[in-house]
Structure 1
Amino acid sequence: MASRLVPVVLLALLAAVHAQLWLGRGSIPRVQEMQRQLDAQTAANDQARQVNERLSSEVHDLKEGLDMVEEKARSELGMVKPNEVYVQYMPR
């Protein structure tokens, strides 16, 4: 009787470990889903990092020189210098 008990216990343990592999917290499908979420978040972080670097560069330019301020005023606000004529060309 004892000789049959050991294989049965080992098979039960193997079944429990196998069930955890496919159905538990650390299951393969769950790990794959979390990897997909991690990849998506990494891509979003990279995009946000690029935007932050661009904005940081723009802030640095605004602090260092007036050329960027003048460019912003001209492009976004339509401002012109004294004695300057504004001409807008619209191609057909």
Structure 2
Amino acid sequence: MKRFLFVLIALLGLLQYQLWFGVNSLPGSVLLREQIALQQEGNAKLVARNQVLREEIIDLSSGTEALEERARNELGMIKKDETFFRVVGERLKPAN
């Protein structure tokens, strides 16, 4: 009977060791859950960014307005017989 009790206690100790320090331990499980949450947050940001890019692609391929806007803003292009005026704010006066 003592031998049986010793085996049960040893088995319980081994199971407790696996539970707290083993490969799939409780602390490891908590860490994995935190990593999963961070990854899901990053994935959500990427999905939103991809949606914006997808909409921009559709806009650029479907019409000329977005293409014209990009040419004006990023490349500084203007239409034929069009005059471009740049309004510049007041310069900062030096402090005395």
Q: Under a length normalisation based on structure 2, what TM-score does the superposition of the two structures give? A: 0.85
For 2:50, which of 49, 52, 55 is the aligned residue?
52
Unaligned runs of 5+ in 1: none
**What is the identity, as a one-letter code, of the residue corresponding to 1:57?**
E
Count of aligned positions: 90
Q: Does 1:27 align with 2:25?
A: yes
1:1-92 matched pairs, under 5 angstroms: 3-92=1-90
Alpha-carbon RMSD: 1.2
**What is the identity, as a one-letter code, of the residue corresponding to 1:47?**
K
1:34 Cα shift?
Answer: 1.4
Structure 1 moving runs of 4+ over 4 Å: none
Q: Which has the higher helix share?
A: 1
Q: Distance in 2 between matches of 1:87 and 1:24?
A: 71
1:91 Cα shift?
Answer: 2.6
Q: Under a length normalisation based on structure 1, what TM-score does the superposition of the two structures give? A: 0.89
Q: Distance in 1 between matches of 2:40 and 2:69?
A: 34
Identity rate of aligned residues, in percent?
A: 33
